[in-house]
Structure 1
Amino acid sequence: MATPTAVHIRTTTEILTDTRSTVDPELRDAVNTLPPPMRHLGGYHLGWWDEHGTEASAPAGKALRPALVLLAAEAVGGRAGRALPSAVAVELVHNFSLLHDDVMDGDVTRRHRATAWSVFGASPAVLAGNSLLALAYEVLVAGGAGSEAARTLGAAVQDLMAGQHADLDFEDRTDVTLPECARMAEQKTGALLGCACALGALAGGAPAEQVSLVGRFGQRLGLAFQIVDDLLGIWGTEAVTGKPAYSDLRNRKKSLPVVAALTSGTAAGGELARLYAGSDPIEGDDLVRAAELIAAAGGRGWCQARADALLDQAWRDLTTAGVVPRATAELGALARLVTQRDH
């Protein structure tokens, strides 16, 4: 009798590299169908060429969301190739949101290069983002993903917009609660990661209950991802984030560690509130002091503990779904990667 062949579990680097090599050609083909101005700006944002249209090899995103789509399809017993249109659609939606997010936050750096709006202007960047969003639905429908997939993507986009609106609203409020902030993070990031996993499961032919469980895995992972991203927005280095250190504090963002500190009832939280209430830019030593206060008030520790708890819950959802072991192991590896980034 033949000896069973050992199943190869890919490393996270292999998973993301394989995903990028699979998705990028389809993504390029899709973006190349856009009108020239939108194609030019979109390709710049995606790192394919410089502002003049000359080929470039700028750093690209990690391809986390399309990787989740493809792995979720395999996890429920389907083929990754069936989920490729959904993977491309999710990546387009993600980059639509980044283009708009950079405009709204006034960020001038992303992935270690100038943001699209800072090169081409805010209005063209918004229009290019809209083009990528419309293209996402074209790709999804052309790929035969079906009406349920379109509804799932549409619901995620609506959640994303609601989360972004809340994020903007928080800038002018001094009474933001921790549950409100967590809900905003769930909508901004959790919704699209949950959608990625659900779309993959749908493409893989999973029944509704399994789609729900795999999608919930993605939602919890997404919130954990956002928590870690918020930590990086304060304590991350530019080498890791592609943005200047303390970037979220400079913008007085009400991120989860900040709100956890502000609502802690501690002396450090009170001092942070006074610092955040000022009108002058937070710079220099005040940035360092703000980060110290957030840690002293428990904001950093709360976030780290919450991210760990969410990862545990996400893993339970995934194993309850009864998915294919190899894909489960690789999804778990991705989950650990996004919640254990250096910060």
Structure 2
Amino acid sequence: MATTERTDGRPAGQVLAWARELVDPALHTAVDTLPSPVRRIAGYHFGWWDELGRPLQGAGGGKALRPALALLAAEAAGGTADAALPAAVAVELVHNFSLLHDDVMDGDTTRRHRPTAWSVFGANTAILTGDALLALAADVLAVPGNPDPQGTQRMLAATVQDLVAGQLADLVMEERHDITVRECLGMAEGKTASLLGCSCALGAAFTGAAPDRVAALRGFGARLGLAFQIADDLLGIWGDPAVTGKPVHSDLRNRKKTLPVVAALCSGTAAGQELAALYRRADPPTGAELAHTMTLIERSGARAWCEERAGALLEDALGALSSAGPGGRAAGELAALARLAVRRDR
């Protein structure tokens, strides 16, 4: 993720580094409570050590966007980041539960520039590790400083249900050839937007914020999450694998119905019709066909439409943030992180 976006306070890259520095010790503490075999795989997935358990210098567990949103939402709601630390850890655990499962389902062998956990330890063990992280997330919320333990746990549980429903819709869509843009956006709302919305809502809830402020911050995060997923879909096709750390053309090779693909298929253009024929073929696409697929999506106008849609959702998100009435530096930093998330290169 590029880190040149400025805030009214700290640069956005510094904000993400601050969130990672704050969350990582608590995340380590939580993961250390897992049974030893599970802990080993989880730590490898987070990038803390290699497959033999040897510590890695300078390794990290990703962008920390969701924890940063939770911490900043707490500050924007009038509380402190320290108070919302359990919320930040919980959403990071849920996010990584989903990544462990996604990599198995998608057959991806690379994440964050290293082999995925399932490709090293096996699919079954990676799935079970993801399950353990999900259970741990609910446990992390049950702390004395939580003003509403039952409410926040229900909020997280409902979000996980949305996430699973979105992932299931994603899998079902791979088998269909009549997907609409509306269906694709609905899938992304569950698969990605729900957790970013929950990150903001949980952070605010941990401060004891009023329900209307919690709802407004959730709306900000959800709209941002949908724009974020569109940006991720674009990077899945046109991103540089050396920067993203993801396999080249993975989504197209797996014939995933990401939004640019669906928009192209529904475009009514000659390029969209040719793309549909390619997607219906039974044999795996060659390297040349994958490159041609990228060209067809762009010719259909789908790439430009997705970029415009992401930009419009970003503006909607910023409007929801404004309606939440946040004050101080946190408001500017949330806005800058939103812009950064949508305009990122990884």
Percent of counterpart pairs with the same letter? 61
| Superposition deviation, residue 60 in structure 1 | 2.5
* Separation (CA, whole Å) in 2 of partners of 1:342 and 1:33: 35
State the match for 1:210 in structure 2.
Answer: 213
Residue 182 (structure 1) aligned to one of 185, 202, 206: 185
Q: 4+ runs of 1 displaced by more than 2 Å?
A: 57-60, 142-145
With the length of structure 1 as denominator, give the TM-score of the two structures.
0.96
State the match for 1:4 in structure 2.
Answer: none
Q: Which has the higher contact order (CA 8 A, sep 6+)?
A: 2
| Superposition deviation, residue 244 in structure 1 | 2.5
| Superposition deviation, residue 56 in structure 1 | 1.3
- Does 1:229 find its partner at 2:249? no
- Does 1:49 find its partner at 2:45? no
Contact 1:92 1:135 in 2 (8 A): yes
Residues 252 and 8 of structure 1: CA distance in aligned 2, closer, same or farther (over 3 Å)? closer
**Unaligned ranges ≥5, structure 2:** 1-6
| Superposition deviation, residue 241 in structure 1 | 1.4
State the match for 1:195 in structure 2.
Answer: 198
- Does 1:326 find its partner at 2:329? yes
Name the stretch that deviates more: 137-146 or 205-214.
Answer: 137-146
SS state at 2:303 partner: helix
| Superposition deviation, residue 169 in structure 1 | 0.4
Q: Deviations over 1:7-47 (max 9, x none)?
A: 97011111011111110000001100100011000000000
| Superposition deviation, residue 147 in structure 1 | 1.2
- Does 1:12 find its partner at 2:12? yes
Name the stretch that deviates more: 145-154 or 271-280.
Answer: 145-154
* Separation (CA, whole Å) in 2 of partners of 1:143 and 1:160: 27
SS state at 1:184 partner: helix
SS state at 1:245 partner: coil
With the length of structure 2 as denominator, give the TM-score of the two structures.
0.95
- Give the AA of the match of 1:330: E
**Unaligned ranges ≥5, structure 1:** 1-6
For 1:142-153, list aligned pairs within 5 A.
142=143, 144-145=145-146, 146-153=149-156
* Separation (CA, whole Å) in 2 of partners of 1:195 and 1:283: 40
State the match for 2:297 in structure 1.
Answer: 294
Q: Deviations over 1:107-135 (max 9, x none)?
A: 00000000000000000000000000000
For 1:1-343, list aligned pairs within 5 A.
9-57=9-57, 58-142=59-143, 144-145=145-146, 146-342=149-345
* Separation (CA, whole Å) in 1 of partners of 2:15 and 2:207: 18
Contact 1:73 1:203 in 2 (8 A): yes
- Give the AA of the match of 2:50: D
Contact 1:167 1:254 in 2 (8 A): yes
Name the stretch that deviates more: 238-247 or 325-334.
Answer: 238-247
Contact 2:244 2:345 in 1 (8 A): no
SS state at 1:210 partner: helix
| Superposition deviation, residue 240 in structure 1 | 2.2
SS state at 1:322 partner: coil
